[in-house]
Structure 1
């Protein structure tokens, strides 16, 4: 190839390179397609554990539905708090384990707030004041708690009634007869298997009002401390606790609480 031809070839090659380079600068990467926002997920239904054997706080009606004072309170609270709940009947003896294991989001079951329980779970603000009450046959000579020291006493297993009777008689006393529910203990009193029953006043009073022929009377004792019920949540679940407390405060402020209370106990709350 001659010198002229070489120059011509080099010039042609250079022109081609410049043309390609020019095209490269003008070409820009196509913008990435914007990713679509994720579809909003439906709010999770919170599972509420309750031992539905504690009338009038929680029980099952003839349709198998869980009803009662506690249930009405939680439904009202949930509405105010903007949450959806589902109640699951849960035996009392294992109810706190279901909370700890995450099988239940919170519990409502006439649960007395105690220092011992606060160590393993958190509680809402109190929503009900209770006290222990003694049920005995109408002809019994019992006038105070101390009179039960020599008697056979029925209690619901694991309740505060069980605790106070255990302190009086000794936790392992053969005179303490433990039942799965307070109504079962009261049935045993009616049958003569025990001589007294100690349980929360709301449950005892409701049973007597609906079993007038049982032949019982109640005995109160000034030594029984006032107890308060609370909604129990897993230890450290501050967000849920705040929402429940907010709902409770709102139903107390707008009169909803008093209406629910009156519908179950026949009088305004104190």
Structure 2
């Protein structure tokens, strides 16, 4: 019996060791510097914050992340994945940080830590040019398209019933453009998405769609890091503060949104 007990204890210890190793995905700054790479994940469907120009992912968040990588003395490695896969990528260690026009809301704070905000934004409502929808209150009996996992998705879904405005039905898309295409085809009544991507969609389809003057929500963008990685979070905040103080942050944003 004692022998069996010892074997059982050994096996339990081994399982616990492997389990702990598997769950340890947080990297120190030294780990990142030793690897020579800062792994940043984003969703390149969010112009002007991140989008594809030819085969390259560019945008505001890419340039900010590049500044963070430079401060660490490493190369920036950008991975383009689905928006709803971004937080899991952080949790699994596949990404060191996420910069994706992501709103620092309380629900996401349960899973990740956020930097200081670097941009004030809003959730805009896109409708067809001839739509009778005039404001958020008119969505109550409408079908609204959103990008899966975004703030617009969370707000329109309204699982806890706490939001000021409601919608009749939510349809989720992997890409904002897919929702806009369905809007123009008459399959949905409106699209809720972040303001600046909304403006870009309208610029590309000025005769077909428009953005309403009244936003659905106001929010702040921040950079996400793995939960509890205060060392990396402090470094990100340090770089953001430096960019803001020097005026470089305004220059980066102005490079992409100067006409807004």
Q: Within the alignment, does 1:66 sit opposite 2:57 as a pair?
A: yes
Q: Within the alignment, does 1:163 sit opposite 2:157 as a pair?
A: no
Choose from 170, 175, 184 the match for 1:176.
170
Q: Within the alignment, does 1:91 sit opposite 2:82 as a pair?
A: yes
**Offset of residue 169 of structure 1:** 4.3
| Consecutive unaligned residues in structure 1, runs of 5 or more | 1-40
- 1:84-119 residue CA offsets vs partner (Å, 9 max, x unmatched): 321111211222111001111111111100111111
Q: Within the alignment, does 1:187 sit opposite 2:178 as a pair?
A: no
TM-score (norm 1): 0.77
Aligned to 2:141: 150
Aligned to 2:201: 207
TM-score (norm 2): 0.79
Q: Within the alignment, does 1:257 sit opposite 2:249 as a pair?
A: yes
**Offset of residue 132 of structure 1:** 0.9
C-alpha separation in 2, matches of 1:153 and 1:179? 11
Aligned pairs for 1:17-36 within 5 A: none
Q: Within the alignment, does 1:221 sit opposite 2:218 as a pair?
A: no
Give the root-mean-square deviation of aligned CA atoms: 1.9
| Consecutive unaligned residues in structure 2, runs of 5 or more | 1-32, 159-164
**Offset of residue 207 of structure 1:** 1.6
Maintained 8 Å contact 2:48/2:60: yes
The total of aligned residue pairs comes to 222
Which protein shows a greater Rg?
Answer: 1
Maintained 8 Å contact 2:42/2:80: yes
Aligned to 1:240: 232
C-alpha separation in 2, matches of 1:153 and 1:76? 37
